[in-house]
Structure 1
Amino acid sequence: MRITENSETMITDFDPISSQPKLEQHADLSQIHMQLAVFNRSRLDPKLPSKNWKQEIGEEAFIRILENEMLHAELDEIQSRLVDMPLDPKKFMEWFEELRLTGPGQNDPLFDWLEESANHEEMTWFIRQEVAGEAGFEDLTALTQVKMPTRPKLELARNYWDEMGRGNEKGMHGPMLSNLAHELQIEPPSLQETMPEAAALGNIMMAMALNRRYAYHSAGALGVIELTAPGRALKVYHGLKRLGLSPEAQRYYLIHSSLDIKHSEAWNAEVLFPLVTENPALAKPIAEGALLRLNAGKRCFERYRKELWGSSH
């Protein structure tokens, strides 16, 4: 069984002993992310019942095992950063909030360049990749909150309501990004045009939100997005404004440069701190989720600079 008919050979169909797909020893993680992106593009779309439901479930089981293998590989990359992580709730929150300054990918020079120097074509390329890696914060929040304790669940609900424009279609965050893409005449990029690093952003976030064994990882990852996004969003907003994009097109990044600061404060106080206070063992999965997201972002920024700057910087 293959995920795509033309995918490169990286995964055995099934292990004859365990009946589970296995990553080959030297599998390229970037290619695995591209394979996962094929499935994730329509994974959550509402569908009608199919006569082929048994085959579909079998294919989904295959991809979900591959997805968890991917998460294990990604987790291996960030373990060294957990050595000095404290378990005391207050000290843990100090460690977590410090990620805004010292976490992987923070203060990347890409965003100063987008703010001050990128031309229209370069900014459009960047936004295309942002669209490709967007997994839908509101949907990820909705998936993560399932069966969470009351206090975190209520904050996740408040966050979701903000993402949904508090019931006003014009205030929904997702369509704001679509408005920007429309003004830049951006169509959703094909897989051939999508950087594997951008695909990985969405894959990792969706994997954590959809697999309940990673629910606390998802809470940490979503929390660190709120923590670290405002500074980058402000720089992109300034770049869009410099290039003469309309206020409507600028709005997505303008809102996230300010609203996410309040979201982060509430997320840390009402979601992460209560979870770790109730059970200090949750500090590690929350931290792992945050570092998974930051490390994936770091790889994105580095690849974007390589593609946009070439050897000129």
Structure 2
Amino acid sequence: MLETIRAFIYSKNLDDSEFDNEYNIFIQQLESLLQSAFQDIDEKSILTVHQVLYEINIAHLSVAWFNKAHNIHHPKIVLIKYKIDQAWNKSIQYNYKDQIQDLPSVDDFPDWIRTTVANHKSNELHPVFTFLRDEANLEQSKEFFFQETPLEMLFGDIIAYLLPGIYGGIKVEFVKNYWDEVGRGIDEKVHRKLRARMMKALNIDESCYLENTELFICEELELINMYLSLALDRTKHTELVGALLATELMIPGRFQYLIDGFRRLGFNDYDLHYHIEHTSVDEVHADDLLDHVAMPILKHDAKQMQALVLGGLRRLDTIHKVLDRLYERVLSNESSYHLVKAA
């Protein structure tokens, strides 16, 4: 289905009758796939769903003068994305229905969310981080780094989706966060470019997240699809704020483990600039996102707490699944990065 959805998105002739039969078959297969993925919890089906959804989501970032995603807003593609997002959202609402009921007061939310993130099993408490710091060899560290590529390379774009349509202090805070992402206007300090610098040091092609969908683990695709699907759906932006808040609260601690591990393997601070940068700026982003975005939203409408908490919990639980799978993967010396062409 991966090649088929690519053909649908990038073909100049999707309206031609020659596609009608193929499209109808695809929709029938998709209906069955969604049931297998979100009702029967079949791992292979879940992987295929997230591969298809990622191809659609990433095509929304297509640059017109480079890579023409001709049909990303075509009703046929919109219907495929809608069906996937609806089935996934239904599953999410069911899985979290109890956790988003017993919530703190607005005044208690800051302490609650900080404690929730700090104590979550996906934080630096996860054993993969001490392993990467103290024991992992170069190949194992490269695989971990490679698998985290989609979200790391697209984080600035996700922030950008929050900018239109909001004003005042919340907009200012998002702009400040985005300004840091783009290196405060200095191209060489753009976070994406700093990340690409480390990819070059590891001999990994920086475009791998665009061209090698099939090499990423299901859990990482689920993570990036969570962010992109929330970003692309304006009704879900409060949930996205919750996911971003959990992200910013978590990143500084875990990145220090990666820095220490790569230093042990011989990498210098020039190569590690991306990671080092995030150990300081994300602490500021976390405080500001909580004080100047989340709390104003809650004080405006306390009912938005369910969406904020849902986004935060989804982020924490999904990254935990990523870490579990990657820990298992690096311990068994599985890898995909070597299948990507060198930078």
Match of 2:64 in 1: 47
Superposition RMSD in Å:
2.8
Match of 2:50 in 1: 33
Alpha carbons of structure 1 residues 85 and 104: separation in structure 2 relative to 1, 3 Å? farther
Match of 1:266 in 2: 288
* CA distance in 1 between partners of 2:82 and 2:223 (Å): 17
Please, which of 130, 134, 155 is the counterpart of residue 137 of structure 1? 155
CA contact (8 A) 1:237 1:250 kept: yes
The alignment partner of 1:81 has SS state of coil
Please, which of 34, 39, 43 is the counterpart of residue 23 of structure 1? 34
Please, which of 202, 212, 217 is the counterpart of residue 234 of structure 2? 212
Structure 1 gaps of 5+ residues are none
* CA distance in 2 between partners of 1:264 and 1:55 (Å): 34
CA contact (8 A) 2:59 2:72 kept: no
The alignment partner of 1:79 has SS state of coil
* CA distance in 1 between partners of 2:165 and 2:88 (Å): 25
Is structure 2 residue 191 aligned with structure 1 residue 169?
Answer: no
The alignment partner of 1:82 has SS state of coil
Match of 1:307 in 2: 329
Counterpart amino acid of 1:278? Answer: H
* CA distance in 1 between partners of 2:174 and 2:223 (Å): 21
* CA distance in 2 between partners of 1:123 and 1:309 (Å): 11
The alignment partner of 1:245 has SS state of coil
* CA distance in 1 between partners of 2:25 and 2:303 (Å): 35
Match of 2:13 in 1: none
Alpha carbons of structure 1 residues 101 and 51: separation in structure 2 relative to 1, 3 Å? closer
CA contact (8 A) 1:234 1:257 kept: yes
TM-score, length-normalised on structure 1? 0.87
Match of 1:194 in 2: 216
Q: Deviations over 1:78-135 (max 9, x none)?
A: 334334311x222122211112212351221111111111111111111110113435
Q: Deviations over 1:283-311 (max 9, x none)?
A: 11011111111111010000001111139
* CA distance in 1 between partners of 2:191 and 2:147 (Å): 17
CA contact (8 A) 1:21 1:65 kept: no
CA contact (8 A) 2:239 2:310 kept: yes
TM-score, length-normalised on structure 2? 0.80
Match of 1:229 in 2: 251
CA contact (8 A) 1:161 1:167 kept: yes
Match of 1:92 in 2: 109
Please, which of 108, 114, 119 is the counterpart of residue 126 of structure 2? 108
Match of 2:10 in 1: none
Alpha carbons of structure 1 residues 35 and 254: separation in structure 2 relative to 1, 3 Å? same
Deviation, 1:245, is 1.2
Alpha carbons of structure 1 residues 130 and 82: separation in structure 2 relative to 1, 3 Å? same
Deviation, 1:262, is 0.9
* CA distance in 1 between partners of 2:117 and 2:69 (Å): 49
Deviation, 1:53, is 4.8
Alpha carbons of structure 1 residues 147 and 113: separation in structure 2 relative to 1, 3 Å? same
Q: Deviations over 1:227-285 (max 9, x none)?
A: 11110111111111111113221111111112101110111000001110111011110
Q: Deviations over 1:9-48 (max 9, x none)?
A: xx98558xxxx99822435333311221232343311226
Alpha carbons of structure 1 residues 59 and 290: separation in structure 2 relative to 1, 3 Å? same
The alignment partner of 2:203 has SS state of coil
* CA distance in 2 between partners of 1:135 and 1:212 (Å): 22
Alpha carbons of structure 1 residues 81 and 5: separation in structure 2 relative to 1, 3 Å? same
CA contact (8 A) 1:78 1:295 kept: no
Counterpart amino acid of 1:96? Answer: I
